[in-house]
Amino acid sequence: MALIVQKFGGTSVGTVERIEQVAEKVKKFREAGDDIVVVVSAMSGETNRLIGLAKQIMDQPIPRELDVMVSTGEQVTIALLSMALMKRGVPAVSYTGNQVRILTDSSHTKARILSIDDANIRADLKAGRVVVVAGFQGVDEQGNITTLGRGGSDTTGVALAAALKADECQIYTDVDGVYTTDPRVVPQARRLDKITFEEMLEMASLGSKVLQIRSVEFAGKYNVPLRVLHSFQEGPGTLITLDEEESMEQPIISGIAFNRDEAKLTIRGVPDTPGVAFKILGPISAANVEVDMIVQNVAHDNTTDFTFTVHRNDYQAALEILKQTATTIGAREATGDTNIAKVSIVGVGMRSHAGVASRMFEALAKETINIQMISTSEIKVSVVIEEKYLELAVRALHTAFELDAPARQGE
């Protein structure tokens, strides 16, 4: 008998009919003799709807109150799913994050899980109940409701699986696994049977929202067997694993990630003196704005240009600060650009292959896509390009790295 944690995302519980379907599925697992803990998201669109309401009151909703409100989305689905299970004769009980006691820190809207009290859940499982837990939420030491950041139900699922030492954590969603890239953008994308934690972590942090980054971090840290599957179609899904098989077929690139969440800032004509990077980026980080890619050009006539990217939400604030800095350090000008996108190729195979980056640049050059910035690490290469070329770039790279699925018969 296995203990399985199953997480169902927003579209999988998006209607009452779907919740009934999820209940049918859970019932089958239960009848096969497994102990089941189910984690559910809010019905699709609900979290956005709630945030929209708050924004009608104020542009930047007060984080504590926002958490009180958005956590209601998941509270609705746990109750509905428990009812749907009990209607089918499956004993079930729902818990909010607070009722389980998923203890988090107090960073509202992006809280981190500190510990999970598994006593209630274990007692219920022992009594033969399916336990249905609200994803995305927890409670801090003071009893305030917290949430774990967008997509946070994945993290609830994995954290519960780690705490309960579950045999597997299954993430059920609206695609049948992790693909070489977002299958909604590239129809030729292929499902991967396996991907390493390391690669999945890069894919998630570079923009593939199929799993929340923290859920992958958690799964890697506690070695939780993690699988992504389709909620309503049979199939093996994708296993996220530790082992990096050395096979001849191992592709150099496992996947392509992309995002439109960043904006670019440039300061020109900066006097090139020691400490200049600190003078520029110090005030930015003091304002709690995270910087991603950074490029400083070679100095010319004792002045240099400096470019970096930040999250689009921080763009206005960062530009104001940079304009200030330009005045104080005697730089020529500070400008910004939000029409950018970041495309990244990811793969552990890169470690043992040379020329991966140049193959990427060649593929982009063939499409006459200009590269504005580049950053690399051991297992990824990222470039910043003009946003309008994003889909073209992803498709070109998908083909260049031979990731396209073979055409099916008749296509």
- Residues making up the annotated binding site for substrate are 47, 74
- Candidate list 136, 179, 197, 308; residue touching ligand ADP; CB under 6 A: 179
Residue span binding ligand ASP (CB under 6 A) among the ranges 41-49, 166-174, 275-283, 401-409: 41-49
DSSP E strand stretches across 45-108? 92-95, 102-104
DSSP E strand stretches across 316-396? 333-337, 340-346, 373-377, 380-386
Q: Is 359 in the site for ligand ASP (CB under 6 A)?
A: no
Q: Is 255 in the site for ligand ADP (CB under 6 A)?
A: yes
Residues 1-30 that bind Mg ion (CB under 5 A): 9
Collect all residues with Cβ–Cβ distance below 8 Å to 277 and sequence separation of at least 6. 294, 296, 306
Residue entry with tokens 């009608």: 56
| Residue 264 Ramachandran class (φ > 0 left, ψ -120 to 50 alpha, else beta) | beta
Residues 112-171 that bind Mg ion (CB under 5 A): 151
DSSP string, 324-341: HHHHHHT-SEEEEE--EE
Residues 184-243 that bind Mg ion (CB under 5 A): none
Six-digit token string for 183: 């299958």
Contact 382, 375 (CB under 8 A): yes
256 pairs with which residues across the strands? Answer: 345
Q: Is 73 in the site for ligand ASP (CB under 6 A)?
A: yes
Cβ 155 to ligand ASP shortest distance, Å: 8
Residue 136 or 401: the one with the smaller Cβ distance to ligand ASP is 136
Residues 110-149 that bind ligand ASP (CB under 6 A): 135-136
Six-digit token string for 45: 């669109």
Residue 87 or 184: the one with the smaller Cβ distance to ligand ADP is 184
Q: Is 202 in the site for ligand ADP (CB under 6 A)?
A: no
Number of Cβ atoms within 10 Å of the Cβ of 20: 17
Q: Is 237 in the site for ligand ADP (CB under 6 A)?
A: no
Six-digit token string for 314: 């921080």
- Nearest 5 degrees, angle CA 356-CA 197-CA 159? 155
Binding mask 28-57 for ligand ADP (x = CB under 6 A): -------------x----------------
Cβ 401 to ligand ADP shortest distance, Å: 14
- Nearest 5 degrees, angle CA 159-CA 10-CA 175? 90
Contact positions toward Mg ion, by CB under 5 A? Answer: 9, 151
Contact positions toward ligand ADP, by CB under 6 A? Answer: 9-12, 41, 151, 173-175, 178-179, 181-184, 208-210, 255
Contact positions toward ligand ASP, by CB under 6 A? Answer: 9-10, 41-42, 47, 73, 135-136, 150-154
